[in-house]
């Protein structure tokens, strides 16, 4: 799809480029040439976008060469008196040819200018493309603005989880919605052809796809009877279809095996349908009588997506569900007391967490574009000044103002085009790199494709800069005062005023670079601080993997517990394995649950304690090296027949047992995850150290630990502490699992350090990207300082010669220019700090452990920039000190 | 305009012109088909750009060595923008004369003991 759009753009560009052909050729063959060019591109496209762009470049070059050759051959056929129109075309052609020669004669200038433009265009297009794909582009559903998620809970604890009863009442009793569907994430073991694979999916109401308004790629969504349990059916996503079934047609109606159970494939969803995130299959959600029993009102495990009825909006939908929630809070005081609900646009909810990051990156890359433009402007001004004499001479020889303008215009446009072409390639590679490097937590990255409108916009900005500043010399020189310019040039000095705009530009560049450096510095310090945070356990040497036991094969608690015990025993016997444990709710892992609990001896309150729930086998604490604070750990005696026990962490003890000894007290837990678990009062037998769970930068929540033997869950993580490189044990672990159950897939086998690392991957990504931008900015600023000073030195050679001749020491001369460099730097720093202090507020949400005005960061940036600027000033200053007075005085 | 007088007055042909005439010998082709035909015949050594092709074609048409064909491709593959070209009798005579000229050049070279090395001179074109 992207190829087709790109192709259309390329053909259009080629069509425009045909203007350089001699007119007769264009009139007679233009249409055909466009068609032939399109054919060429069609042939190149299947080999990839690289081949396509190469073909495009080759065709453009060929067109230029052929046009030149045709014009050379043409004069014989030209009528003796050229028509005015023809002479205009020819003079434009002359200008372009002259401009090309000028650019080729100064390869250094051309290279730096084109590179700067390409960097600015490429980086901007790439970042904006990602922002557009993730934040701005509508979801691939019908009228997606009317889709909302229902959020529910007590103020401060509002989540997207509802109980089936609350879902039914919230949706059924408010008239705001046209339709609504429930869904809940599940995972499935896909077996059959190929290796067993664990895939993410969801159980969804039968009308799920019609609420979203998704047109199936093939087949259909679910029908009402299937929502009532009629037939085992499944819909799969486009990604799974391509990856696992090779995108083969005619699969509808065939059977696939999920969790050991055959299911009939009724539909294939189009690409981009990802609700919940990462879901690759959907099966009907069927509520059991138990789910709908009044006592299950507190069991929150489904999410709800709803379509707002025509004429309504999000505010009205929120008001409607709030009204219902208030009523439910009164009617079911014991469970729902104090709760409220709201409707949040689906898209907003999806990108909530990455919005800030992406906007910061967008701002940063905008600064890079600005700096790139300033730099190009600076280069063009420098060149313009060195060509003042050429302009004056040409004007004196009779070149009209129009001709001069046209000539500089064609140079500027040619430069812009070159920069744009290089920018197109840069944009393509930058986008690819960005998508490849981005952390998995950024949603919708699969949908990202280069945005041509953005490319066009940045291209126009870059070309505009180039044209604006490229024209300056022509406009000022043709404004009259030729004699002054020629006279001044004759004396070898252009007057102090000429360099003022360039100094101003350098100061701007410095200030912008300072802003980026401060931003990058703050993120680097945040990241370093975060890495020093102890997670409360020791991730080194641990390897983890996830298992999900299919219900068809493991239907009882005893069979689940039996499997896990056998596996742990086998793993334990592997040489090099210290300990092995099963855990539901691994820190930074993707399984988690939380529960309310209460002290049975105290009165029940609606705002009762809430804690994260972890289910662990006895060796868990030894494996993770989580310390025991008081009481005892779990051990082998806490089995299914023993009295029910529970451990709590220090945070739970602090928050809910302040001033008491929690040991020996009893609690009652609101949720059971295992199918046949007992849910009587449990005795607190120990307190363990706090562990960070979801994020390093958040406080540790209250947690409770239940023994696995008493709560055999069928989905869990195995953590194995090894004595060597943990990943070296992966084959042995796979063998052990396969020895017990050959059909059981292993998911996410990775070292614990990677599990923790993934939680800060997004920060790392932002930090690296911003650092790269800042480095580019500092480099461009240094080029700017160097350019201005080098120019000043060359302009003042004569003056330097005089100074040296009348006794100034070379050191004094060098100091003169170093001082000038320092002056520019200091002004830039001050302006930049002011800008950074203002902009850093936008960053504050991304910072950890540093303030937005961290003095150490500002100081380091100042130091770094001064060093870079002085290095850039050093070379021109040295050249100034080595001027030979006699030579300098002799130059005209 | 051109009298069908002496084909030798058109010589020498450029390699591109030579190949285009060769492509049109025995077939009426549109522009891109000529490009592909030349590319295949020279095993990719001569890849005419669109601009090069049409400037050469314009020259050949102006010299009346080729002209536009009225023949069209089957409707399904046809495209309004495409024109088909054929070689004229004059063009065929010029092609023959050029081939003779090249052959005689080769004879002279071989007589001096110079053997072809590497790629044939004709297919060495700018890509």
Nearest to A251 by CA among A259, A260, A242: A242
pLDDT, position A154 = 80
Q: Give the residue-averaged pLDDT of A326-347.
A: 87
Q: Give the residue-averaged pLDDT of A788-799.
A: 78
Question: What does the alpha-carbon distance between residue A612 and residue A157 come to, in Å, rounded to a whole number?
Answer: 13
Residue A77: pLDDT band (50, 70, 90) is very low
In A741-884, where does DSSP find H-type helix? 752-759, 761-795, 797-805, 810-843, 855-881
Nearest to A726 by CA among A493, A541, A574: A541
pLDDT digits (tens, 9 = 90+) for A225-235: 888 887 789 99
Q: Give the residue-averaged pLDDT of A212-237.
A: 89
- DSSP symbol at B68: E
Residues of B in contact with A31 (CB under 8 A): 81
User: For testing the chain A interface, which of B51, B66, B77, B79 should be mutated: the one with the most A CBs within 10 Å?
Assistant: B51
pLDDT digits (tens, 9 = 90+) for A458-477: 778 777 777 777 776 666 55
Residue A137: pLDDT band (50, 70, 90) is confident
Q: List own/partner pairs for A550-559 with CB under 8 A and 24 or more apart.
A: A550/A189, A550/A259, A550/A260, A550/A261, A550/A744, A551/A259, A551/A714, A552/A259, A552/A260, A552/A261, A553/A260, A553/A741, A554/A714, A556/A675, A556/A676, A557/A640, A557/A674, A557/A675, A557/A676, A557/A677, A557/A712, A558/A640, A558/A712
Q: Give the residue-averaged pLDDT of A835-860.
A: 85
**Can you tell me whether residue A543 is helix, strand or coil?**
strand
Residues of A in contact with B30 (CB under 8 A): 32, 36
In degrees rounded to 5, what are phi and psi of residue A159?
Answer: -130, 180
Q: What is the mean pLDDT of chain A?
A: 82
Residue A87: pLDDT band (50, 70, 90) is low
Residue A610: pLDDT band (50, 70, 90) is confident
With CB atoms and an 8 Å threshold, state whether B49 touches A59: yes
Longest dimension (CA), chain B: 55
B126 to chain A: nearest residue by CA? Answer: A62
pLDDT, position B111 = 87
Cβ-proximal residues to A626 (8 Å cutoff; 6+ apart), any chain: A536, A537, A620, A688, A689, A691
Instruction: With a cut of 80, say whether residue A513 has pLDDT above it.
Output: yes
**Can you tell me whether residue A182 is helix, strand or coil?**
strand
Residue A532: pLDDT band (50, 70, 90) is confident
- Residue A720 and residue A729 in contact, taking contact as beta carbons nearer than 8 Å: yes
- The structure tokens 């009798």 sit at B89
Q: Say which residue, B62 or A96, is predicted with more confidence.
A: B62
pLDDT digits (tens, 9 = 90+) for A405-434: 777 788 888 888 888 888 888 888 888 888
Question: What does the alpha-carbon distance between residue A222 and residue A206 come to, in Å, rounded to a whole number?
Answer: 5
Helix axes A761-795, A797-805, angle to 10 degrees: 60
Nearest to A481 by CA among A467, A495, A471: A495
With CB atoms and an 8 Å threshold, state whether B32 touches A39: yes
Strand-pair partners of A703 = A612
ipTM exceeds 0.95, yes or no: no
pLDDT, position B121 = 43
Nearest to A181 by CA among A158, A148, A141, A152: A148
Check CB contact of A68 with chain B, cutoff 8 Å: no
The H or E element containing residue A299 is none
User: How distant is the Cα of B111 from the closest Cα of chain A, in angstroms?
Assistant: 36
With CB atoms and an 8 Å threshold, state whether A40 touches B35: yes
Q: What percent of chain A has pLDDT over 90?
A: 20
- Residue A843 and residue A513 in contact, taking contact as beta carbons nearer than 8 Å: no
Query: What's the distance, CA A800 to chain centroid?
Result: 52
With CB atoms and an 8 Å threshold, state whether A36 touches B53: yes
Question: What does the alpha-carbon distance between residue A846 and residue A523 come to, in Å, rounded to a whole number?
Answer: 7
Check CB contact of A220 with chain B, cutoff 8 Å: no
Residues of A in contact with B50 (CB under 8 A): 33, 36-37, 40, 59, 62-63
With CB atoms and an 8 Å threshold, state whether B82 touches A35: yes
Task: Return per-residue pLDDT of chain B as tens, 127 residues.
Answer: 444 558 888 888 888 899 999 999 988 888 899 999 999 998 888 888 898 999 899 889 888 899 888 766 555 555 666 788 999 999 999 999 999 999 999 899 888 888 765 444 444 434 3
Question: What does the alpha-carbon distance between residue A512 and residue A551 come to, in Å, rounded to a whole number?
Answer: 60
With CB atoms and an 8 Å threshold, state whether A66 touches B55: yes
Q: Which residues of B lie closer than 8 Å to A, measured between beta carbons?
A: 30-32, 35, 49-55, 57-59, 62, 79, 81-83, 126-127
Among the listed ranges A13-27, A210-224, A389-403, A800-814, which one has the minimum average pLDDT value? Answer: A389-403
With CB atoms and an 8 Å threshold, state whether A62 touches B32: no
Cβ-proximal residues to A672 (8 Å cutoff; 6+ apart), any chain: A679, A711
pLDDT, position A354 = 79
Check CB contact of A21 with chain B, cutoff 8 Å: yes
pLDDT digits (tens, 9 = 90+) for A865-882: 888 888 888 888 888 888
- Residue A174 and residue A320 in contact, taking contact as beta carbons nearer than 8 Å: yes
User: For testing the chain B interface, which of A66, A67, A69 should be mutated: the one with the most B CBs within 10 Å?
Assistant: A66
Burial of A861 per CB tally in 10 Å (0-12, 13-18, 19+) = buried
């Amino acid at each position: 799809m992207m190829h087709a759009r790109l192709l259309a753009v390329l053909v259009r560009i080629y069509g425009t480029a045909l203007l350089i052909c001699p007119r007769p050729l264009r009139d007679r063959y233009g249409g055909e040439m466009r068609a032939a060019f399109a054919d060429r591109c069609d042939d190149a496209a299947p080999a990839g976008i690289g081949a396509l762009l190469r073909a495009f470049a080759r065709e453009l070059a060929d067109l230029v060469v052929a046009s030149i050759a045709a014009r050379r051959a043409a004069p014989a056929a030209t009528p003796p008196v050229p028509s005015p129109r023809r002479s205009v075309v020819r003079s434009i052609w002359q200008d372009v040819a002259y401009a090309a020669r000028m650019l080729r004669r100064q390869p250094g200038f051309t290279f730096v200018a084109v590179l700067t433009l390409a960097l600015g265009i490429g980086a901007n297009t790439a970042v904006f493309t990602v922002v557009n794909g993730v934040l701005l582009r509508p979801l691939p559903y019908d009228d997606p603005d009317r889709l909302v998620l229902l959020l529910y809970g007590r103020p401060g604890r509002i989540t997207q989880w509802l109980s089936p009863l609350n879902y039914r009442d919230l949706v059924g009793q408010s008239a705001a919605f046209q339709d609504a569907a429930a869904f809940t994430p599940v995972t499935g073991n896909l077996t059959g052809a190929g290796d067993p694979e664990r895939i993410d999916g969801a159980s969804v109401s039968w009308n799920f796809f019609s609420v979203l308004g998704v047109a199936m790629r093939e087949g259909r969504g679910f029908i009402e009877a299937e929502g009532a349990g009629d037939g085992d059916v499944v819909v799969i996503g486009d990604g799974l279809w391509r990856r696992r079934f090779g995108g083969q047609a005619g699969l509808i109606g065939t059977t696939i095996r999920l969790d050991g159970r055959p299911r009939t494939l009724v539909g294939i969803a189009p690409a981009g349908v990802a609700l919940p995130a990462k879901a690759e299959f959907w099966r009907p959600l069927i509520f059991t009588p138990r789910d709908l029993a009044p006592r299950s009102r507190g069991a929150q495990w489904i999410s709800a997506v709803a379509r707002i009825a025509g004429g309504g909006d999000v505010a009205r939908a929120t008001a409607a569900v709030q009204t219902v929630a208030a009523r439910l809070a009164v009617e079911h005081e014991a469970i729902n007391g104090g709760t409220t609900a709201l409707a949040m646009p689906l898209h907003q909810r999806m990108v909530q967490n990455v919005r800030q990051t992406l906007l910061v990156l967008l701002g940063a890359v905008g600064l890079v574009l600005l700096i790139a433009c300033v730099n190009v402007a600076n280069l063009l001004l420098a060149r313009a000044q060195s060509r003042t004499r050429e302009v004056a001479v040409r004007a004196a020889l009779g070149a009209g103002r129009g001709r001069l303008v046209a000539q500089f215009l064609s140079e500027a446009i040619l430069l812009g085009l070159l920069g744009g072409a290089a920018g197109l390639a840069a944009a393509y590679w930058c986008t690819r790199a960005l998508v490849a490097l981005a952390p998995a937590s950024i949603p919708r990255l699969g949908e990202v494709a280069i945005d041509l409108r953005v490319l066009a916009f940045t291209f126009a900005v870059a070309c505009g800069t180039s044209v604006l500043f490229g024209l300056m010399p022509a406009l000022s020189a043709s404004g009259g005062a030729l004699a002054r310019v020629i006279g001044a040039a004759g004396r070898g000095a252009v007057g102090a005023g000429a360099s003022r705009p360039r100094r101003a530009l350098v100061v701007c560049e410095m200030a912008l670079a300072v802003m980026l450096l401060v931003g990058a510095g703050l993120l680097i310090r945040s990241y370093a601080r975060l890495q020093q945070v102890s997670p409360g356990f020791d991730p080194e040497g641990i390897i983890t993997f996830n298992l999900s036991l299919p219900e068809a094969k493991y239907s009882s608690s005893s069979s689940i517990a039996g499997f896990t015990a056998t596996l742990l025993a086998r793993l334990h016997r592997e040489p090099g394995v210290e300990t092995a444990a099963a855990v539901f709710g691994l820190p930074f892992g993707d399984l988690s649950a939380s529960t309310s609990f209460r002290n049975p001896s105290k009165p029940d309150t609606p705002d009762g304690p809430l804690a994260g729930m972890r289910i662990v086998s006895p060796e868990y604490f030894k494996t993770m090296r989580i310390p025991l604070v008081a009481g005892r750990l779990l051990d082998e005696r806490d089995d299914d027949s023993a009295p029910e026990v529970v451990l709590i962490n220090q945070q739970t003890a602090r928050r809910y047992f302040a001033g008491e000894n929690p040991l020996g007290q009893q609690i009652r837990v609101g949720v059971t995850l295992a199918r046949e678990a007992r849910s009587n009062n449990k005795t607190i037998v120990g307190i363990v150290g706090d562990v960070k769970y979801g994020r390093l930068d958040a406080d540790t929540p209250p947690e409770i630990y239940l023994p696995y033997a008493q709560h055999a869950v069928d989905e869990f993580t195995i953590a194995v502490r090894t004595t060597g490189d943990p990943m070296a044990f992966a084959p042995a672990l796979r063998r052990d699992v396969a020895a017990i159950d050959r059909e059981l897939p292993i998911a996410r086998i990775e070292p614990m350090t990677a599990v923790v690392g993934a939680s800060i991957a997004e920060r790392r990504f932002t930090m690296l990207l911003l650092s790269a931008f800042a480095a580019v900015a500092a480099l461009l600023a240094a080029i700017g300082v160097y350019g201005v000073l080098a120019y000043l030195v060359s302009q003042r050679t004569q003056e330097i010669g005089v100074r040296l001749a009348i006794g100034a020491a070379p050191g004094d001369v060098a100091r003169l220019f170093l001082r000038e460099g320092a002056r520019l730097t200091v002004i830039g720093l001050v302006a930049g700090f002011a800008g950074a202090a203002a902009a850093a507020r936008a960053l504050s949400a991304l910072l950890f452990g540093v303030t937005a005005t961290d003095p150490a960061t500002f100081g380091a940036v100042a130091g770094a920039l001064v060093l870079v600027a002085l290095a850039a000033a050093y070379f021109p200053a040295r050249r100034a000190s080595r001027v030979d007075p006699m030579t300098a005085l002799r130059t005209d | 305009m051109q009298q069908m007088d002496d084909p030798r007055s058109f010589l020498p042909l450029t390699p591109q012109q030579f190949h285009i005439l060769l492509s049109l010998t025995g077939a009426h082709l549109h522009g891109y088909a000529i490009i592909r035909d030349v590319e295949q015949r020279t095993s990719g050594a001569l890849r005419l750009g669109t601009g090069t092709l049409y400037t050469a074609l314009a020259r050949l048409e102006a010299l009346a060595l080729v002209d536009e064909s009225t023949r069209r491709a089957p409707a399904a593959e046809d495209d309004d923008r495409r024109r088909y070209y054929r070689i004229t009798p004059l063009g065929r005579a010029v092609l023959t004369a050029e081939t003779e000229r090249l052959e005689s050049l080769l004879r002279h070279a071989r007589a001096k003991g110079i053997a072809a090395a590497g790629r044939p001179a004709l297919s060495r074109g700018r890509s």
